[in-house]
Amino acid sequence: MKVTVSDIKADVGSLAGHVKPHIRQIKAAERVLEEGVKSGTIYDYQVSRVGDDIHLVMLHGSGEEASEVHRLAWDAFRAATEEAKKLGLYAAGQDLLKDAFSGNVKGMGPGVAEMEFEERRAEPVVIFMADKTSPSAFNLPLVRIYADPFYTSGLVIDERMHSGFYIDVLDQKEGEVYRFNLPEELYDMLALVGDVVRFSIKRVVSKDESIGTAAVVSAERLSHIAGKYVGKDDPVAIARGQSGLPAVGELLQPFMFPHLVPGWMRGSHVGPLYPCSVNDSNPTFFDGPPRVVAIGMMVKDKSFVGEEENPAPGHHVPVDYFAGKEFDYARNLAMQIAVYMRSHGPIMFERLPEEEMEYTTLKSVLERVLKGKRR
């Protein structure tokens, strides 16, 4: 049976800064998705969050870019926005760039990662939710997971992974997508994805056709849609694990290295990616450091399955992978790097280069200063 997992996410207002959604926003979104289950639009769902972003993780049978599923998510974010307005939360409705839904939330503000696949006998799915960064934050870990045998030993010892993967890369500036055949074209691909300002990995596909899509990333850029800086493109990645795909442990290992990512504070700074639990995902140090949370559930017979005793739609208890003490190592290292990077203040390269800042108000500051101070 083919199923689709969709994570549609947005920041529609947050509590006391860019920190966390209010519980009433979460409940409002859940009520809309509950109706979606009753009406048969989706099979199951789980609302989660990282920092100030609400993630609607949905399971359904309508394939990718299904209008009715996107409309449901849009309605859920509208309901969460209404709560934000009533409570006077910060940036209520920030990521909803249009007034009326028009068939697909892509291009309307929310981030979307979704994949349709044939459900295997055991189907673990990991959702990586990141805050205060951009879609390219997943470039480095995804290269390590799907193309580096020193990370994923399955690339060497699992016959179904031995021939490698296809990886699609999005050019954020031009909108073009390029497909690379890994490992043969690894160096060509790295020439692109090493540039985390312009390129981001969008999709990973198994060469075993019976498996299909292995991972997807929400790759739209809010600022490129709106034409100006309107908030951060905090991304989500979905990855399937095991049985011809990387083991879940192989999916998680690269996050022990808190690599530098763009998009911290005002979308204008560079910082380390800090792996943490959902509850620890409140960004409090200079609105950061950038966070990544990983939650895992099984997909079984039109349902998600977590640690709950009685699975019921919307009431799951996902595995919260980075909650464990193992990742204290990465968190401690990330905080040392975060303080080091912040010590540069407004001086590059803690501050992003100008090309990445073209949608901020720095341009008008520069124009005024250059004009007024010329001698």
Please identify every residue annotated as catalytic: 11, 229, 232
- For 62, 89, 257, 269, 349, the CA distances from 346, given in Å and listed in that order, are 47, 28, 25, 9, 9
Considering the complex, state which of residue 130 and residue 204 has its C-beta at the smaller distance from Mg ion. 130
> Does the protein bind Mg ion through residue 52 (CB under 5 A)?
yes
Considering the complex, state which of residue 52 and residue 83 has its C-beta at the smaller distance from Mg ion. 52
Q: How far is the CB of 105 from Mg ion (least distance, A)?
A: 16
Residues in binding contact with Mg ion, number by CB under 5 A = 6
Start-to-end Cα distance in the chain: 71
Considering the complex, state which of residue 11 and residue 116 has its C-beta at the smaller distance from Mg ion. 11
> Does the protein bind Mg ion through residue 234 (CB under 5 A)?
yes
Q: How far is the CB of 131 from Mg ion (least distance, A)?
A: 4
Residues between 117 and 136 with contacts to Mg ion, criterion CB under 5 A: 131
* Residues 283 and 372 sit within 8 Å (Cβ to Cβ): no
> Does the protein bind Mg ion through residue 11 (CB under 5 A)?
yes
The 10 Å CB-count burial string (b at 16+, else e) for 331-347 is beebeebbeebbeeeee
Tell me which H or E stretch contains 69.
Answer: helix 67-87
* Residues 131 and 261 sit within 8 Å (Cβ to Cβ): no
> Does the protein bind Mg ion through residue 30 (CB under 5 A)?
no
Considering the complex, state which of residue 11 and residue 356 has its C-beta at the smaller distance from Mg ion. 11
* Residues 97 and 230 sit within 8 Å (Cβ to Cβ): yes
Binder among 53, 233, 320, 356 for Mg ion (CB under 5 A): 53
- For 37, 154, 313, 364, the CA distances from 237, given in Å and listed in that order, are 24, 20, 22, 34
Considering the complex, state which of residue 44 and residue 52 has its C-beta at the smaller distance from Mg ion. 52
Q: How far is the CB of 336 from Mg ion (least distance, A)?
A: 24
Q: How far is the CB of 129 from Mg ion (least distance, A)?
A: 10
Farthest-apart Cα atoms in the chain, separation: 74
Binding segment for Mg ion (CB under 5 A), chosen from 6-14, 122-130, 171-179, 355-363, is: 6-14
Distance between CA atoms of residues 321 and 326, nearest Å = 10
Distance between CA atoms of residues 320 and 330, nearest Å = 16
* Residues 275 and 292 sit within 8 Å (Cβ to Cβ): yes
CB-closest chain residue to Mg ion? 234
Residue 40 amino acid letter: G
Read off the tokens for 356.
């990445």
Q: How far is the CB of 9 from Mg ion (least distance, A)?
A: 9
Q: How far is the CB of 135 from Mg ion (least distance, A)?
A: 13
* Residues 264 and 133 sit within 8 Å (Cβ to Cβ): yes
Considering the complex, state which of residue 7 and residue 131 has its C-beta at the smaller distance from Mg ion. 131
Binding segment for Mg ion (CB under 5 A), chosen from 28-36, 49-57, 216-224, 354-362, is: 49-57
Distance between CA atoms of residues 306 and 280, nearest Å = 20
Interaction site with Mg ion (CB under 5 A): 11, 51-53, 131, 234
